């Protein structure tokens, strides 16, 4: 006969779905979620700052485009466990290992989307802006980047969702957010811990995607008007 009753019984029975686990470990879940969000957001933010000048270099000097895209692609193909293992001797047992790894993984997505977005700006718009006296910096930040935003933010969305997933691998160095709970639950075969942390990871990925999609629509209202006219 199963010991305990109601919600407490699911813990004793080690059931996958257990409300008592969520209630009794709410602070632990909250701390892991905050760490997960922090690592993901910081990683994608830094990656965007690094990808921007790389994309500008690749665009300004086309001979550099191949090496830049090739290097970021090679970095993306390195298995996450191997990447963290390579960074560990350099950065020590810290969150920097996970953040740096995620930054390197995000570069290929962000650089490609930045280049695609900037290249999609019509040449006649550039010429019109130059005719109005726009210099290179004003042209970039006042005309080209705003028009490239849909492509750029699409890359950020993909990078963010990917980072949410890859952050869990950081559990091998103790900085994996919800991945710490997944690893701990798998080691002890504690079913509710594994399932709850996994579900929260999925929810985080969905929330990041929806939030960034909302930001994209807010910053690019002209795309909605075009879609409306097309319909």
CB 49 within 8 A of CB 224: no
pLDDT of residue 222: 67
- What band does 229 get if pLDDT is binned at 50, 70 and 90? low
Phi first, then psi: what are they for 134, rounded to 5°? -70, 130
Q: Sign (positive/negative) of CA torsion 146, 141, 112, 49?
A: negative
> Which DSSP letter does residue 169 get?
G
The answer to whether the CB of 138 falls within 8 A of the CB of 76 is no
In this predicted model, which residue has the larger pLDDT, 178 or 231? 178
| In the predicted structure, residue 80 carries a pLDDT above the cut 90 | no
Where do the structural domains in the chain lie, given as residue ranges?
Answer: 28-217
Nearest to 166, CA basis, from 176, 158, 156: 176
The pLDDT confidence band at residue 207, using thresholds 50, 70 and 90, is very high
pLDDT in tens, 15-30: 888 888 888 888 999 9
Per-residue confidence band for 122, with pLDDT thresholds at 50, 70 and 90: confident
**pLDDT tens per residue, range 87-117:** 988 888 889 999 999 999 999 899 999 998 8
Long-range interactions of 226-231: CB distance < 8 A, separation 24+: none
Domain 28-217 in CATH 1.10.12.10: no
Reported as a single tens digit per residue, the pLDDT across 137-194 is 888 888 888 888 888 999 999 999 999 999 999 898 888 899 999 999 888 888 889 9
H-state helical runs in 92-190: 95-119, 123-131, 136-139, 145-167, 178-188
pLDDT score for 182: 92
Distance (Å, whole) CA 149 – CA 75: 25
Give 126-136 pLDDT, tens digit per residue.
889 888 888 88
Angle between helices 191-219 and 221-230 (to 10 degrees): 80
For residue 209, pLDDT over 70 is answered with: yes
pTM: 0.85
């Amino acid at each position: 006969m199963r010991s305990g009753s109601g919600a407490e019984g699911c813990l004793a029975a080690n059931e996958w779905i257990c409300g008592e686990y969520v209630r009794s470990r709410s602070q632990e879940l909250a701390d892991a979620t905050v760490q997960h969000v922090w690592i993901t957001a910081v990683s994608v933010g830094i990656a965007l700052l690094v990808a921007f000048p790389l994309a500008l270099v690749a665009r300004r000097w086309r001979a550099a485009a191949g090496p830049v895209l090739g290097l970021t692609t090679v970095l993306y193909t390195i298995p996450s466990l191997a990447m963290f293992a390579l960074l560990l001797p350099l950065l020590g047992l810290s969150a920097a290992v996970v953040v740096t790894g995620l930054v390197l993984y995000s570069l290929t997505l962000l650089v490609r989307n930045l280049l695609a977005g900037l290249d999609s700006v019509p040449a006649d718009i550039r010429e019109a802006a130059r005719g109005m006296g726009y210099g290179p910096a004003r042209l970039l930040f006042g005309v080209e980047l705003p028009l490239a935003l849909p492509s750029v933010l699409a890359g950020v969305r993909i990078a963010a969702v990917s980072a949410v997933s890859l952050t869990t691998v950081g559990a091998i160095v103790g900085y994996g957010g919800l991945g710490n709970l997944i690893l701990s639950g798998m080691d002890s075969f504690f079913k509710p811990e594994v399932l709850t942390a996994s579900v929260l990871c999925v929810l985080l990925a969905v929330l990041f995607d929806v939030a960034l999609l909302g930001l994209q629509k807010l910053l690019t209202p002209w795309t909605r008007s075009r879609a409306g006219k097309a319909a």
